[in-house]
Structures are given as structure tokens and as C-alpha cells.
């Protein structure tokens, strides 16, 4: 059965409430632990179906935001998602309060209980209308981005489709494409400012209704930071400033020398070679076929996974009008099926999707044995280890995707991954400051963003686009609007992925075995335990960054394309 045949049917909220009433009563009055456990797993199957319908609706809406049916379903879930959460939390509370909990703790991994506690801390019937409003505001942001229809090069382009031009080897084309992109955001500046202002104040209000001092505290609970805290993150930021930013500044100087400029205008920031950035070879279908060869040769497990994805048409990859921005992997429990969504635009990022999002999908595919839905994926920073590491495990096959540009790809992929870390930390730092200062005006938020940019990304030069000098780059970072505090996770995982890359360079035969092991365990362990299981060093440990950066810098200095024009 392919994805188009997956049946969607709006759930009956009242019927789901009755099911919840029934199972709460059974759980509270179960005559034995076995009866209690059987009833709980029966309810889990009901919950999985509800989540499957929500996920199918969301995927189909993101594929075509002009589809009137799924637009209405999106509105339905924006309103009813919090009501579903309320019912799930009733069962969760019943389980946690049960006299059978000590026996359940012997059968179910510890993170289940940590996540359940967080779910209860982050929810109350009192905030249902607030969560509904939050969903609606996030949907409005997605609509602003998705509705872009920008006339460029004789075509009508989405923001994703403009990415091809922003990556052009022609400087004037790049410059015009960047200007067109940010002209669109500037035209919608007031709308975006107002949406974010409402989101910040609403989230702060939600947090305080739940008993938190502010949304920063609640954000850590929402994000399920199970074994690290604000102090750990603050120390990590300091290490990034000390050990990573000097390396990135050196990389930017090397880049300026290669492309022959004395300052890095914004439209040149991602332009690495005057001969052009590495571009993938082939159509979307040809790249999917190349990925099939790659995953077949990588391991029997990745081959089985990728054949499942292709056979069941679980990939929607190309950019098109009305399609939501970005890329993601999700999971449909009813069909035990991962799904990969992206916006191919002819840049090297297309190949990154076939490895990054496939890393997520492979992990959840291997974790289908886990009964508890909350443990199918691990927490976000752990999820990103799977995706970013898969990018590196795919390196031996990159010649089929890039041909003569392969060395360029290796260089830009690795150097770009290093450059990303300060940006990812900046996004996180900005959100801490915003939610600690909820009364800031939009102008104050922008000013703070620009101040932080000058710390983490001192090379930034916005002379060509004054709108960005005001501190508006974050307008394009959807995580800030839709998934607050979800971003430093990428950087923590990147440090772990770098360690896998180093092991691969040393031809460590245990590297893929460790990677496969952490894919199989899903969310049954916490972040730091997953890092330990993979035989990696925690990014929070003092010195972890300096050692990795030294070795990465040495590799890049020896690259045959370091000084290539």
C-alpha cells in the first residue's frame, strides 16, 4: 500500500473522550497488574490511531497548503489537538498514580516516566484555549511563508525555489535572488512581527498559568531536556564562542580568499568557489535511485529501510507552489511508516535531505518494535545524532551524486557543518533572551538578534540588504515560531556526528555498529545515555569541542579544494 492509499478519516473527538473515560475506569480498577498493563496497551493502540490521523492530515496539508479539504482539517486539528492532549494526559496521570506503577517501571524504560511527568507539567485544561490560539498563530506564520509568489527570471517562484538562484555562480543573480527573498519578508514585516509578539506573550502566559516562572523553564520541559539544564547549555555556549567561532572565522577568511573578496556580503556567504558550489547530478528520480544503491551497499538494514520508503512512496521531495517550506521526517504509527518531506531546488541541500531526513527515518523504522509511542523517537537532540551522522556515513557514495564536484562537496559539507554550530547556538541564545524579556518591542528583539550575530557570526555583512542589518534574519527560521527552543539540539548532535566522522576517517569498524545500535533503541534512553551507548563524548564535557575542532580544521587545511577558485 502506497502513501496515497493511506486512509485519512477525521476522528470523532466525543467518541475519543468516551474511550478515555472507559480506559481510565479500567486502569483505576484493574484487579491485577496484567489486567492493568493489557488495558494500557489497548489504549495505546487507540492513541496511535488518533496520532496517525493527525499526522496524515498534517503531511497532506504541508504538501499542498492550497488543498481546501486539508486546510479545513488543519484548522480542525489546531483546535482539537489540545483536546486530544487533555485526554491522553488523563490516562498518563492515571498510569503514573497507579498502585501498579512500581511493576510497570520494571517493564518500561525510564524515559517513559520522565516524559510522562513532563507532559503533565506542561498541560492543564486551563490552557486549552491558549494552545489552540498558539496552533493558529503558528499556522498563520507557515501561510505567510508558503504563499510567497515571487516574480524572478521570468518565473513565479516560491521562497524555496529562489534557493536555486541564491546559490548561482553568477554574483548578480545571487544578489538579486537574496534581495527578492528579503524584499518579501520586508513586505510582511509587520505581520511577522505581530505574529511573533503574540506568540511570545501567549507562551509566557501559558507558562505562568502552569506554575513556571517563565517560558524558558517551560520550554525545557516541553523539549524534554531530561538530563541537562540551562547551566549546561550556558557553559556549552561559552565553549562554542571560545573553540568554534575562531575556527569558523578562519574558514570565512579562506572562503573570501577563494572567491576574491575582502568582505563577505550576505549574498556571498554561502558561495564557496568562483567555479560554482557543488551541484548534484540528475533529476529527483535519478537521485532517489542513487540513494537506493547507496543504502543497499551501506548495510542490509539500510537497504530494507530504503526499499520500504521507495516502494510505499513515502518521499515528497520537490519544491512546488503552495508547498510548506522546509523539510522534515515524521512517522505514521498505523502503517509503521516514516515519511520524508522536502523542497528539492537543485542545490547540494537536496542530497543532504536524502541523508539527513533518511537518518531520522531509518532510526524510527528500526524502532518500530517499541510499544510506547513517546519512545518511538528519542528526544530531539538525540534524534539529530541519527540524521547528522547518516550524512557522514553516506560520504563514500557522494561521487555518484556530485561527480567532479565531490571534493567540493566534502569541503562545503564539513566546513558548513562547523559554521552551523555558532548559528544554531545563536538561535537558542536569542530565544532565551526573548522569553526572559517578554515585554521587549519588536525593534528590541531585532536589535538583540543583531547584537548576538556580532558575537557568534562576526563575519556577517548586510550592507547589500539594509533590512537584515536591522536584525531580521530570524524571520526565516521557522523553528523560532513553530518549535521554540528546538535548535541547539542540532548543534549538540553535530558535535556527536563529528565524532562519528572522525571514527570513519580512522576506518573504525565499530562506528556503524554503534550508530545502528542507537537507531534501534529509539527513545528508550536519554540523550547522555545514548551518547554513551554510541561510545561518544558528551558535548557538554569541557574540552570536547576543542579536540574535535582541531582535527576537523587539520582535515580542511589539507583539502585539495581549499584554495580552489
Q: What are phi and psi of 265, to 5 degrees?
A: -55, 150
* Nearest-angstrom CA–CA distance, 29 and 1: 40
What pLDDT score was predicted for residue 563?
Answer: 87
- Grouping H, G, I as helix, E, B as strand and the rest as coil, residue 360 is helix
Confidence band of 445 (pLDDT split at 50, 70, 90):
very high
Q: What is the mean pLDDT of residues 191-203?
A: 98
Q: In the chain, pLDDT over 70 holds for what percent of residues?
A: 100
CA-to-CA distance for 537 and 77, rounded, in angstroms? 40
Q: What is the mean pLDDT of residues 525-530?
A: 97
- Name the pLDDT band for 325 (thresholds 50, 70, 90): confident
**How many CA atoms within 13 Å lie on the side-chain side of 179?**
11
To which residue does cell 529527483 refer?
284
CA distance 83 to 50: 12
Using CA atoms, how far residue 308 sits from 58, 113, 383, in Å, is: 21, 32, 20
**Which pLDDT score is estimated for 443?**
98
Q: What is the mean pLDDT of residues 505-534?
A: 97
Whether residue 123 has pLDDT greater than 90: yes
Express each pLDDT in 249-268 by its tens digit.
999 999 999 999 999 999 99
HEC readout, 416-474: HHHHHHHHHHHHHHHHHHHHCCCCCCHHHHHHHHHHHHHHHCCCCECCCCHHHHCCCHH
Q: Which helix or strand (DSSP H or E) is residue 498 part of?
A: helix 488-505
Distance of CA 186 to the CA centre of its chain: 25
pLDDT of 272 strictly over 90? yes
**Taking residues 415-434, what's their average pLDDT?**
97
Rg of the chain, C-alpha, whole Å: 23
Compute the mean pLDDT over every residue in the chain, rounded to the nearest whole number.
96
Which residues neighbour 214 within 8 Å (Cβ) at sequence distance 6 or greater? Answer: 204, 207, 208, 435, 436, 438
For 151, list phi and psi in degrees, rounded to 5.
Answer: -75, 120
Q: Which three cell numbers stand for residue 555?
A: 582535515
Tell me which residue of 293, 329, 308 sits closest to 2, measured CA to CA. Answer: 308
| 38 CB neighbour count, 10 Å cutoff | 13
Q: What percent of the chain has pLDDT over 90?
A: 93
Q: Where are the domains of the chain?
A: 3-135
Q: Considering the entire predicted model, what is its pTM?
A: 0.93
pLDDT of 298 reads: 98
pLDDT tens by residue, 162-196:
988 998 989 999 999 999 999 999 999 999 999 99
b (16+ CB within 10 A) / e for 65-102: beeeebeebbebbbbbbbbbbbbbbbbbebbeebebee
CA pair distance 304, 300, nearest whole angstrom: 6
Q: What is the mean pLDDT of residues 378-401?
A: 97
The pLDDT tens digits for 548-559 are 999 999 999 999
Which residue has 558550489 as its cell numbers? 277
pLDDT classification of 63: cutoffs 50, 70, 90 = very high
Q: Work out the average pLDDT over 391-411.
A: 97
How confident is the model at residue 14, as a pLDDT?
A: 97
Amino acid at each position: 500500500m502506497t502513501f496515497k492509499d493511506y486512509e485519512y478519516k477525521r476522528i470523532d473527538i466525543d467518541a475519543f473522550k468516551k474511550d478515555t473515560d472507559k480506559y481510565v475506569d479500567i486502569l483505576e480498577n484493574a484487579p491485577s497488574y496484567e489486567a492493568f498493563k493489557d488495558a494500557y496497551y489497548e489504549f495505546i493502540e487507540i492513541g496511535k490511531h488518533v496520532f496517525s490521523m493527525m499526522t496524515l492530515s498534517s503531511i497532506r496539508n504541508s504538501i499542498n497548503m492550497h488543498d481546501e479539504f486539508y486546510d479545513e482539517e488543519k484548522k480542525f486539528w489546531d483546535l482539537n489537538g489540545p483536546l486530544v492532549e487533555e485526554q491522553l494526559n488523563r490516562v498518563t496521570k492515571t498510569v503514573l498514580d497507579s498502585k501498579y506503577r512500581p511493576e510497570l517501571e520494571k517493564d518500561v524504560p525510564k524515559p517513559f516516566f520522565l516524559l510522562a511527568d513532563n507532559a503533565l507539567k506542561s498541560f492543564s485544561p486551563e490552557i486549552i484555549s491558549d494552545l489552540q490560539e498558539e496552533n493558529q498563530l503558528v499556522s498563520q506564520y507557515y501561510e505567510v511563508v508558503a504563499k510567497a509568489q515571487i516574480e524572478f527570471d521570468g518565473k513565479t517562484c516560491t521562497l524555496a525555489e529562489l534557493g536555486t538562484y541564491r546559490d548561482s555562480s553568477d554574483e548578480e543573480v545571487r544578489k538579486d535572488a537574496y534581495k527578492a527573498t528579503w524584499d518579501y519578508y520586508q513586505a510582511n514585516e509587520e505581520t511577522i512581527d505581530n505574529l511573533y509578539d503574540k506568540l511570545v506573550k501567549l507562551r509566557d502566559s501559558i507558562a505562568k498559568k502552569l506554575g513556571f516562572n517563565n517560558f524558558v523553564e517551560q520550554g525545557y520541559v516541553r523539549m524534554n531536556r531530561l538530563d541537562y539544564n540551562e547551566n549546561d547549555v550556558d557553559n556549552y555556549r561559552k565553549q562554542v564562542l571560545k573553540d568554534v567561532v575562531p575556527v569558523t572565522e578562519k574558514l570565512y577568511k579562506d572562503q573570501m580568499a577563494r572567491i576574491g573578496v575582502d568582505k563577505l556580503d550576505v549574498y556571498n556567504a554561502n558561495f564557496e568557489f568562483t567555479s560554482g558550489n557543488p551541484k548534484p547530478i540528475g533529476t529527483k528520480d535519478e537521485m532517489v535511485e542513487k540513494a537506493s544503491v547507496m543504502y543497499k551497499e551501506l548495510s542490509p538494514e539500510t537497504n530494507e529501510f530504503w526499499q520500504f520508503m521507495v516502494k510505499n512512496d513515502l518521499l515528497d521531495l520537490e519544491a512546488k507552489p503552495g508547498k510548506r517550506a522546509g523539510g522534515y521526517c515524521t512517522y505514521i504509527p498505523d502503517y509503521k511508516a516514516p515519511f520524508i518531506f522536502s523542497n528539492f531546488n537543485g542545490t547540494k541541500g537536496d542530497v543532504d535531505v536524502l541523508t539527513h531526513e533518511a537518518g531520522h527515518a531509518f532510526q524510527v523504522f528500526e524502532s518500530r518494535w517499541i510499544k510506547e509511542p513517546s519512545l518511538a523517537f528519542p528526544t530531539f537532540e538525540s534524534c539529530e545524532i541519527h540524521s547528522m551522522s547518516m550524512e557522514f556515513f553516506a560520504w563514500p557514495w557522494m561521487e555518484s551524486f556530485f561527480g567532479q564536484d565531490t571534493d567540493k562537496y566534502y569541503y562545503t559539507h564539513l566546513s558548513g557543518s562547523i559554521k552551523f554550530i555558532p548559528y544554531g547556538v545563536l538561535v537558542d541564545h536569542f530565544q532565551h533572551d526573548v522569553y526572559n524579556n517578554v515585554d521587549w518591542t519588536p525593534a528590541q528583539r531585532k536589535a538583540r538578534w543583531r547584537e548576538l550575530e556580532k558575537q557568534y557570526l562576526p563575519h556577517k555583512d548586510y550592507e547589500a540588504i539594509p533590512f537584515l542589518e536591522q536584525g531580521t534574519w530570524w524571520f526565516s527560521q521557522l523553528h523560532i515560531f513553530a518549535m521554540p527552543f528546538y535548535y541547539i539540539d542540532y548543534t549538540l548532535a553535530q558535535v556527536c556526528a563529528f565524532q562519528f566522522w572522525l571514527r570513519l576517517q580512522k576506518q573504525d569498524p565499530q562506528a556503524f555498529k554503534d550508530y545502528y545500535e542507537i537507531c534501534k533503541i529509539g527513545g528508550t534512553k536519554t540523550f547522555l545515555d545514548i551518547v554513551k551507548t554510541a561510545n561518544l563524548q558528551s558535548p557538554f564535557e569541557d574540552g570536547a569541542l576543542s579536540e574535535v575542532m582541531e582535527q576537523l580544521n587539520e582535515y580542511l587545511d589539507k583539502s585539495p579544494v581549499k584554495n580552489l577558485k
